Amino acid sequence: MFGLYEMQPPTWLLSRLGGADTTSAMGLFLSGLVVGVIAAPCVGPFVVAVLALIARRGDALFGFQTMFALALGLGFPYLFLASFSNLLQRLPRSGDWMVWVKKVFGVILAGVGVFYLLVALAPDWAGWVLPAALVLGGLYLGFVDRSAGKPTFRWFRYGFGMAAAVIGVVVVATTPQQSVAFAPFDARSLATELGHGRTAMIDFSADWCAPCHELERFTFTDGRVRVMARAFQTFKVDLTRYDSPESETLRRQYGISGVPTVVFLGPDGREVIEARVEGYVTPESFLERMRYAGRRTGAMALNP
């Protein structure tokens, strides 16, 4: 992506593909084979995730709608270009600007790779990837990279790089550092607090879980969420070792099928099912769940 090296198919394969009649059976087979090899790594994981979601829902109508939307999204660009083929002549011509665009995607891919690496090795640092990628990537793409181009394009590069760097600084400056204070989960402490008439909020998370870090960084740091959380006794269950006997026992006990999951327990020990949170939700949505759990369990101080 940055031009350090390039991987190309063998010359004999390119000549075969270039000389093959695309209308023949062999030509169509070779074209489909090449496209399949290229497209499978891009589309395959997403399709598997969609199929897993459909299987989890167990709703045939939802499955049809989801796969139809996916197929429509993949095919719409081709349908649009086929219907308005004259627009192809108005597309920008290839040039050095395409090399710069390739480097933009290179920065994005590098940032995503570093993010998942930190999620596995140093989860506390994963939240800094986005602002760092914006600042460093903006400086590189706008001022360090020397891709040729017209003067107007160079000014566009400068503006793009400056805007990305400024956004990265703003993200750091506006992200609250304090979060909801969770105590490590302990069955005895939970039973004691419930016995005193408290309502419990239990967060199930894992170090390798990207949505868990999003929930902690963007939702639990919200001032309204932090204030309202004082009405609950908050616990955190670490499911990093997801298949360990301890984790499996807790997952079965509370019906946890994935992380992040947040459950609310009333003083009687029963869960408020309607307030359960699965996956990342916005602070506004999380506040609604907390209010609902508070009304159902009689938790106090729910209006910050």
Q: What is the pLDDT of residues 34-79, one digit of tens each?
A: 766 676 777 788 888 889 889 878 889 999 999 999 989 888 887 8
| Length reported for the chain | 304
pLDDT at 303 over 60: no
- Is residue 5 assigned to a domain? no
Q: Which residues contact 96 (CB under 8 A, 6 or more apart)?
A: 147, 148, 149, 153
68, 87, 106 — which closes off a domain?
87
Is the same domain home to 170 and 245? no
CATH of residue 212's domain is: 3.40.30.10
Q: How high is the pLDDT of residue 249?
A: 95
Percentage of residues in the chain with pLDDT exceeding 90?
A: 51
Number of domains forming the structure of the chain: 3
The mean pLDDT value for 165-183 works out to 88
pLDDT at 30 over 90: no
Percentage of residues in the chain with pLDDT exceeding 70?
A: 88
pLDDT range class, residue 16, cuts 50, 70, 90: low
The more confidently predicted of residues 175 and 162 is 162
Strand order in the sheet with 261-265: 183-184, 232-238, 199-205, 261-265, 277-278
SS3 207: coil
The boundaries of the domain holding residue 76 are 16-87
Q: How high is the pLDDT of residue 48?
A: 87
pLDDT at 3 over 80: no
- Is residue 115 assigned to a domain? yes
Is the same domain home to 79 and 61? yes
DSSP character at residue 271 = B
pLDDT at 138 over 90: yes
- Tell me: the pLDDT tens digits for 94-133? 777 888 999 999 999 999 999 888 877 887 788 889 899 9
Q: How high is the pLDDT of residue 5?
A: 74
87, 104, 126 — which closes off a domain?
87
Asked whether 299 and 229 are in contact (CB, 8 A), the reply is no
pLDDT range class, residue 23, cuts 50, 70, 90: low
Q: How high is the pLDDT of residue 302?
A: 44
Per residue, the 3-state secondary structure of 60-111, as one string, reads HHHHHHHHHHHHHHHHHHHHHHHHCHHHHHHCCCCCHHHHHHHHHHHHHHHH
Is the same domain home to 114 and 213? no
Q: How high is the pLDDT of residue 141?
A: 93
Q: How high is the pLDDT of residue 86?
A: 77
Q: Which residues pair with 262 in a beta bridge?
A: 203, 277
Is the same domain home to 39 and 64? yes
The mean pLDDT value for 285-290 works out to 96
Per residue, the 3-state secondary structure of 136-195, as one string, reads HHHHHHHHHCCCCCCHHHHHHHHHHHHHHHHHHHHHHHHCCCCCCCCEECCHHHHHHHHH
Which one of 13-27, 107-121, 272-286 scores highest in mean pLDDT? 272-286
- Is residue 1 assigned to a domain? no
- Is residue 244 assigned to a domain? yes
87, 117, 148 — which closes off a domain?
87
Single-letter amino acid code for the residue at 265: L
Which one of 46-50, 273-277, 298-302 scores highest in mean pLDDT? 273-277
Total-model pTM: 0.64
The mean pLDDT value for 237-252 works out to 93
Is the same domain home to 249 and 192? yes
Q: How high is the pLDDT of residue 59?
A: 87
DSSP character at residue 230 = G
pLDDT range class, residue 301, cuts 50, 70, 90: very low
pLDDT range class, residue 85, cuts 50, 70, 90: confident
Q: How high is the pLDDT of residue 2?
A: 81
Asked whether 111 and 130 are in contact (CB, 8 A), the reply is yes
Is the same domain home to 58 and 144? no
SS3 58: coil
Which phi-psi region, left, alpha or beta, contains residue 269 (left: φ > 0; alpha: ψ -120 to 50)? left
